Amino acid sequence: MDKMEWIAPCHFGLESVLKREIQDLGYEIVQVEDGRVTFSGGIDAVCRANIFLRTAERVLLKVGSFQARTFEELFEGTKNIPWEDYIPADGKFWVAKAASVKSRLFSPSDIQSIMKKAMVERLKSRYRIEWFPESGASYPVRVFLMRDVVTVGLDTTGVSLHKRGYRPVAGKAPIAENLAAALIMLTPWRKERILVDPFCGSGTFPIEAAMIAANIAPGMNRSFTAENWTNLVGKRNWYEAVNEASDVINDQIETDIQGYDADGEVLRAARKNAEAAGVGSLIHFQQREVKDLSHPKKYGFIITNPPYGERLEEKKNLPGLYREFGEAFRRLDSWSAYMITSYEDAERYFGRKADKNRKIYNGMLKTYFYQFAGPKPPKQKKQKDALR
For residue 18, CA distances in Å to 71, 135, 310, 374 come to: 33, 35, 29, 26
For residue 339, CA distances in Å to 40, 203, 225 come to: 34, 15, 34
Averaged pLDDT for residues 58-74: 98
Per-residue pLDDT tens digits for 224-247? 999 999 999 999 999 999 999 999
The percentage of the chain sitting over the pLDDT mark of 90, rounded to a whole number, equals 90
Please, which pLDDT band fits residue 386 given cuts at 50, 70 and 90?
Answer: very low
Q: What pLDDT does residue 355 have?
A: 98
First CA to last CA distance, the chain: 58
Q: What pLDDT does residue 1 have?
A: 58
Pairing of strands 283-287, 149-155: unpaired
To 10 degrees, the CA torsion angle through 356, 358, 362, 366?
Answer: 100
Tell me the pTM. Answer: 0.94
Domains 4-155 and 177-217+229-372 share a fold: no
Q: What pLDDT does residue 172 have?
A: 58
Q: Which residues contact 349 (CB under 8 A, 6 or more apart)?
A: 318, 319, 320, 321, 322, 323, 326
Per-residue pLDDT tens digits for 346-368? 999 999 999 999 999 887 889 99
Architecture of domain 177-217+229-372: 3-Layer(aba) Sandwich (3.40)
Q: What pLDDT does residue 295 have?
A: 95
Per-residue pLDDT tens digits for 284-327? 999 999 999 999 999 999 999 999 876 655 788 999 999 999 99
Specify the amino acid at residue 149: V
Q: Is residue 135 over pLDDT 80?
A: yes
CA 241 from chain centre, in angstroms, equals 19
Q: Is residue 115 over pLDDT 70?
A: yes
DSSP bridge pairs for 100: 145
Domains in the chain: boundaries: 4-155, 177-217+229-372
Q: Is residue 159 over pLDDT 60?
A: yes
Averaged pLDDT for residues 71-77: 98
Which one-letter DSSP state was computed for residue 83?
G
Nearest to 374 by CA among 351, 346, 359, 354: 354
Q: Is residue 372 over pLDDT 60?
A: yes
Identify the CATH assignment for 4-155 out of 3.40.50.80, 3.30.2130.30, 3.20.20.60, 3.40.50.1370: 3.30.2130.30
Name the 3-class secondary structure at 203. Answer: coil
Question: What CA–CA distance (Å, rounded) separates 9 from 57?
Answer: 6
Read off φ and ψ for residue 48, nearest 5 degrees. Answer: -65, -40
Residue 328 · residue 304 · CB < 8 Å = no
Per-residue pLDDT tens digits for 11-51? 999 999 999 999 999 999 999 999 999 999 999 999 999 99
Residue 352 · residue 326 · CB < 8 Å = yes
Helix axes 44-52, 235-247, angle to 10 degrees: 40
